[in-house]
Amino acid sequence: MVSLSLNKQIFLRYVVPTIFFLGGAFFLFIEKSYAADVTLAWDAVSTPNLGGYQVFYSQNSNKYSDSIDAGNKTSIRIQGLQDGTKYFFSVKAYSADRTTAGNYSNEISTLITAPITANFSENDTSGYAPLLVNFTDTSAGNITKRNWDFGDGTTSIAPTAIKAYSKPGIYTVTLMVSGPNGTETKTKTNLITVMDPGLSSVATANTSGSGSVSTQPLGASTEQAADFFEAGSLDITDKWQYVSFNRTFNDPVVVTGSLSDNSKEPTVVRIRNVTPAGFEVRIQEWEYLDGKHTVETLNYLVMERGRHTLEDGSQVEAGSVLTDRTGQYESIDFAETFPIKPVVFTAVTSLNGSDAVTTRVQNIYPDGFQVGMQKQEGSSDPWQHAAETVSYIAWEPSASDMPTRDFEAHFSAEDVDHLPYRIEYQNSFVNPPIILVAMQTTADEDPANLRWSANDAFGVDVRVSEEQSKDDDLVHAREIVGYLAISR
């Protein structure tokens, strides 16, 4: 599931016969099909009671298993499609009150062909000479040739290369991969720091779970590495309780993973009064329930606002937006473009409206994503809510052994629905990690969030939990889930 830069897009255009809806008509086009994405566009329907458009797609003709609400936009980008697979698409228009929908447009299709994307990981980035580093090619696509440049004049063509740095210095590492779809290069500037073993040194590491660590010779003018994030776990109920940070932040951004699955009653997490020293949190059941909830385990992540680089070179970003988009989506641009699509975690971190509300995301790309709020369907005003602060933390997919904590950030397959689904960690932990999970797609628009259980050193079970204020239907379409596992 990779994407190309703009200059590598393959332009396609298909015109289909007119369809009629509420007195209007529109044409469906495929504007672009590239990487594992497709961009669809259609002519607007001209009618006073148009509400928006729903895009349907599947690997089977005229049997659509997935859909995305495009709102009133006349184009949408769908990401996360399977490479080398043909997909079929159609669009319906719906009325403003969502009670009427038109027929499917005529179907169009395209074959998704992913290019090569170069990337690699390393097991260490600093230490005394001789420093032994394992480099692993993690590139995507059909790769037939690779070439490593370790920055000291030596090279390798192996998928996994073991390099011994014998001389002190700072080294830039480059991997070039080639295949039928082209050649791509990944460079990590100043990645490896090798120190003279004859010099005394001091490690500037924080024991509370800092995401950045550096080692500097005594007397160097470089400041101590930034301590910019903290992860924790606690038991909460429907009563407000205060969570203290282990350190004082300047401008903290807080997100939470989903709750444990001790009680099957659907619920949301509410956060308020985020300060440099901590925040308040509680469970809030949807309004149709009695409001009383048993003890659940909640995992959280707090990070200094802004863009940061982890010791392994992975990029993370923390920010927030004030929005009243309920049943709609707000577009957020990252401060800097990620190398690949990041895992995104969000949370409502204010209490301007008292009704239960949760966040949903869609259309995550390296340069941004869309986020909105959801209220229960049975609410008297399900499309209205006071403006709230929605916080987010985006984490580049990666896995690393940090000096203070190990972590792993990745995506599940598009298989998570209302039934428990096992996510296996790519690398096992010594003990069950702190786990954050969040839906990365909105294949099903029913108000919902995730619940997790059976978290151990090797994986975690997750399921989608829908609220049931209008019906008893628990069935939910398959979603992609992002997860972040951090050792305790």
Distance between CA 376 and CA 466 in Å, rounded?
A: 9
pLDDT for the residue 198: 59
Q: How far apart are CA 301 and CA 271, in angstroms?
A: 13
Per-residue pLDDT, 27: 54
CA distance 488 to 405: 7
Q: How confident is the model at residue 148 (pLDDT cuts 50, 70, 90)?
A: very high
- pLDDT for residue 227: 63
CA dist., res. 34 & res. 305, Å (int) = 33
| Residue bearing tokens 């895009």 | 55
Among residues of the chain, what percentage have pLDDT more than 90?
Answer: 48
Edge-first strand listing for the sheet containing 296-304? 229-236, 296-304, 252-256
Q: Report whether 440 contacts 480 (CB < 8 A).
A: yes
Confidence band, pLDDT 50/70/90 cuts, at residue 165: confident
Q: How confident is the model at residue 402 (pLDDT cuts 50, 70, 90)?
A: low
Q: Among residues 106, 110, 105, which one has the least CA distance to residue 45? A: 105
Query: What is the pLDDT at residue 29?
Result: 56
pLDDT (0 to 100) of residue 352:
92
Q: Is the pLDDT of residue 371 over 50?
A: yes
Q: How confident is the model at residue 400 (pLDDT cuts 50, 70, 90)?
A: confident
pLDDT by residue (tens digit) across 329-356? 999 999 999 999 999 999 999 999 999 9
Note the pLDDT of residue 7: 23
Q: pLDDT for 306-330, tens place per residue? A: 999 887 788 999 999 999 999 899 9
In 99-200, the DSSP E strands lie at: 108-111, 120-122, 126-128, 131-137, 145-149, 155-156, 160-165, 169-179, 182-195
Share of the chain above pLDDT 70, in %: 85
Would residue 211 be called left, alpha or beta, if left means φ above 0 and alpha means ψ between -120 and 50 degrees? alpha
Specify the pLDDT at position 224: 30
pLDDT value for 40:
86
Question: Is the per-residue pLDDT at 277 higher than 60?
Answer: yes
Q: What average pLDDT does the segment 432-456 reach?
A: 94
Q: Average pLDDT, stretch 228-247?
A: 92
**Residue that the structure tokens 């409206």 belong to:** 353
Q: What is the pLDDT of residue 218?
A: 26
pLDDT at 37 > cutoff 90 = no
Position 361 scores a pLDDT of 96
Mean pLDDT of 27-50: 69
Contact (CB, 8 A) for 329 and 372: yes
pLDDT value, residue 138: 92
What are the contacts of 381-384 at 24+ separation with CB within 8 A?
A: 382/326, 382/327, 383/326, 383/327, 383/328, 384/324, 384/326
Query: How confident is the model at residue 84, as a pLDDT?
Result: 74
Task: Note the pLDDT of residue 156.
Answer: 86
Q: Alpha-carbon distance 134 to 214, whole Å?
A: 19
Q: What pLDDT sits at residue 4?
A: 22
**What pLDDT does residue 212 have?**
30
pLDDT at residue number 202: 31
When the pLDDT of each residue in the chain is averaged and rounded to a whole number, the result is 82
Residue type at 112 in one-letter notation: I
Looking at the predicted structure, is the pLDDT value of residue 100 above 60?
Answer: yes
Query: Which of 14, 57, 16, 19 has the alpha carbon at shortest distance from 32?
Result: 14
What pLDDT band is residue 160 in, cutting at 50, 70 and 90?
confident
- The residues near 127 (Cβ < 8 Å, ≥ 6 apart) are 193, 194, 195, 215
Cβ neighbours, 10 Å, residue 132 = 11
- What is the average per-residue pLDDT within 225-245? 85
pLDDT at 383 over 90: no
Specify the amino acid at residue 392. Y
Give the Cα separation of 391 and 394 in Å (integer): 10
